[in-house]
Amino acid sequence: AQSVAQPEDQVNVAEGNPLTVKCTYSVSGNPYLFWYVQYPNRGLQFLLKYITGDNLVKGSYGFEAEFNKSQTSFHLKKPSALVSDSALYFCAVRDPKISTDSWGKLQFGAGTQVVVTP
Protein backbone atom coordinates (compact mmCIF):
# COMPACT_ATOMS: atom_id res chain seq x y z
CA ALA A 1 0.00 0.00 0.00
CA GLN A 2 1.16 3.49 -0.75
CA SER A 3 1.69 6.13 1.90
CA VAL A 4 3.23 9.53 2.33
CA ALA A 5 4.53 11.25 5.44
CA GLN A 6 5.12 14.89 6.25
CA PRO A 7 7.14 14.78 9.48
CA GLU A 8 6.68 18.43 10.43
CA ASP A 9 3.32 19.86 11.48
CA GLN A 10 4.65 23.38 11.12
CA VAL A 11 7.65 25.12 9.64
CA ASN A 12 8.59 28.64 10.67
CA VAL A 13 10.89 30.73 8.53
CA ALA A 14 11.81 34.37 8.24
CA GLU A 15 11.02 36.17 5.01
CA GLY A 16 13.94 35.97 2.61
CA ASN A 17 15.31 32.77 4.10
CA PRO A 18 15.23 29.38 2.36
CA LEU A 19 12.14 27.28 2.90
CA THR A 20 12.07 23.48 2.96
CA VAL A 21 9.01 21.32 3.54
CA LYS A 22 9.77 17.63 3.96
CA CYS A 23 7.97 14.67 2.44
CA THR A 24 8.79 10.97 2.39
CA TYR A 25 6.83 8.27 0.61
CA SER A 26 6.34 4.54 0.49
CA VAL A 27 5.19 2.89 -2.72
CA SER A 28 6.23 -0.08 -4.79
CA GLY A 29 8.01 0.88 -7.96
CA ASN A 30 8.42 4.42 -9.25
CA PRO A 31 6.01 6.83 -7.64
CA TYR A 32 4.15 9.78 -9.05
CA LEU A 33 4.57 12.62 -6.56
CA PHE A 34 2.73 15.91 -6.21
CA TRP A 35 2.80 19.05 -4.10
CA TYR A 36 -0.26 21.19 -3.45
CA VAL A 37 -0.78 24.36 -1.41
CA GLN A 38 -3.95 25.33 0.44
CA TYR A 39 -4.72 28.85 1.58
CA PRO A 40 -7.31 29.40 4.34
CA ASN A 41 -10.83 28.42 3.29
CA ARG A 42 -9.68 27.70 -0.25
CA GLY A 43 -9.16 24.63 -2.38
CA LEU A 44 -5.84 23.03 -3.18
CA GLN A 45 -3.63 24.63 -5.77
CA PHE A 46 -1.23 22.47 -7.75
CA LEU A 47 2.43 23.43 -7.38
CA LEU A 48 4.45 20.74 -9.12
CA LYS A 49 4.79 17.04 -9.81
CA TYR A 50 7.42 14.39 -10.42
CA ILE A 51 6.67 11.66 -12.92
CA THR A 52 10.01 10.79 -14.46
CA GLY A 53 13.17 12.46 -15.70
CA ASP A 54 15.18 15.07 -13.84
CA ASN A 55 15.15 14.68 -10.11
CA LEU A 56 14.81 18.44 -9.64
CA VAL A 57 11.35 19.63 -10.58
CA LYS A 58 10.46 23.29 -10.93
CA GLY A 59 6.95 24.49 -10.28
CA SER A 60 4.76 27.50 -9.67
CA TYR A 61 5.57 30.57 -7.57
CA GLY A 62 9.30 29.83 -7.46
CA PHE A 63 8.94 26.45 -5.76
CA GLU A 64 10.94 23.40 -6.66
CA ALA A 65 11.21 19.87 -5.32
CA GLU A 66 13.93 17.25 -5.38
CA PHE A 67 13.11 13.61 -5.89
CA ASN A 68 15.51 11.31 -4.04
CA LYS A 69 14.84 7.67 -4.74
CA SER A 70 17.39 6.28 -2.29
CA GLN A 71 15.91 8.29 0.57
CA THR A 72 12.33 7.97 -0.74
CA SER A 73 11.91 11.70 -0.32
CA PHE A 74 10.38 14.56 -2.28
CA HIS A 75 11.14 17.73 -0.33
CA LEU A 76 9.65 21.04 -1.42
CA LYS A 77 12.00 24.01 -1.51
CA LYS A 78 12.02 27.72 -2.16
CA PRO A 79 15.26 29.70 -2.08
CA SER A 80 13.71 32.86 -0.60
CA ALA A 81 10.40 32.68 1.25
CA LEU A 82 7.73 35.37 1.10
CA VAL A 83 5.12 36.22 3.72
CA SER A 84 2.51 35.31 1.11
CA ASP A 85 3.88 31.73 1.08
CA SER A 86 2.29 31.20 4.49
CA ALA A 87 -0.17 28.38 3.89
CA LEU A 88 -0.79 24.66 4.35
CA TYR A 89 1.29 22.44 2.07
CA PHE A 90 0.38 18.90 1.10
CA CYS A 91 2.50 16.21 -0.44
CA ALA A 92 0.67 13.47 -2.33
CA VAL A 93 1.57 10.21 -4.03
CA ARG A 94 -0.15 8.27 -6.74
CA ASP A 95 0.66 4.61 -7.20
CA PRO A 96 1.69 3.91 -10.81
CA LYS A 97 0.60 0.28 -10.64
CA ILE A 98 -2.82 -0.56 -11.93
CA SER A 99 -4.84 -2.18 -9.21
CA THR A 100 -8.31 -1.77 -7.82
CA ASP A 101 -6.90 -0.53 -4.52
CA SER A 102 -4.97 2.40 -5.89
CA TRP A 103 -6.64 3.25 -9.18
CA GLY A 104 -6.73 6.98 -9.63
CA LYS A 105 -6.53 8.21 -6.10
CA LEU A 106 -4.04 10.54 -4.52
CA GLN A 107 -2.74 9.62 -1.09
CA PHE A 108 -2.10 12.81 0.87
CA GLY A 109 0.19 13.56 3.74
CA ALA A 110 -1.23 15.24 6.83
CA GLY A 111 0.01 18.63 5.68
CA THR A 112 2.63 21.08 6.91
CA GLN A 113 1.70 24.57 8.00
CA VAL A 114 4.25 27.09 6.76
CA VAL A 115 4.53 30.37 8.63
CA VAL A 116 6.72 33.06 7.09
CA THR A 117 7.39 36.02 9.35
CA PRO A 118 8.33 39.48 8.08
Partner 1 sequence: NAGVMQNPRHLVRRRGQEARLRCSPMKGHSHVYWYRQLPEEGLKFMVYLQKENIIDESGMPKERFSAEFPKEGPSILRIQQVVRGDSAAYFCASSPYSLYQETQYFGPGTRLLVL
Q: What is the DSSP letter of 7?
A: -
53 binds partner 1 (CB under 8 A): no
Nearest-approach distance from CB 97 to partner 1, in angstroms: 9
Q: Which of 20-28, 68-76, 78-86, 109-117 is the region at the interface with partner 1 (rule: CB under 8 A)?
A: 109-117
- Contact segment (CB under 8 A) with partner 1 among 15-23, 45-53, 61-69, 73-81 equals 45-53
| Residue 28 CB contacts under 8 Å (≥ 6 apart), including other chains | 2, 95, 97
Rounded CA Rg of the chain: 14
Q: Which is nearer to partner 1, 41 or 70 (CB)?
A: 41
Element (H, E) at 35: strand 32-38
**Nearest-angstrom CA–CA distance, 59 and 69:** 19
Q: Would you tell me which residues interact with partner 1 (CB under 8 A)? A: 32, 34, 36, 41-46, 49, 51, 90, 94-96, 100-101, 103-111
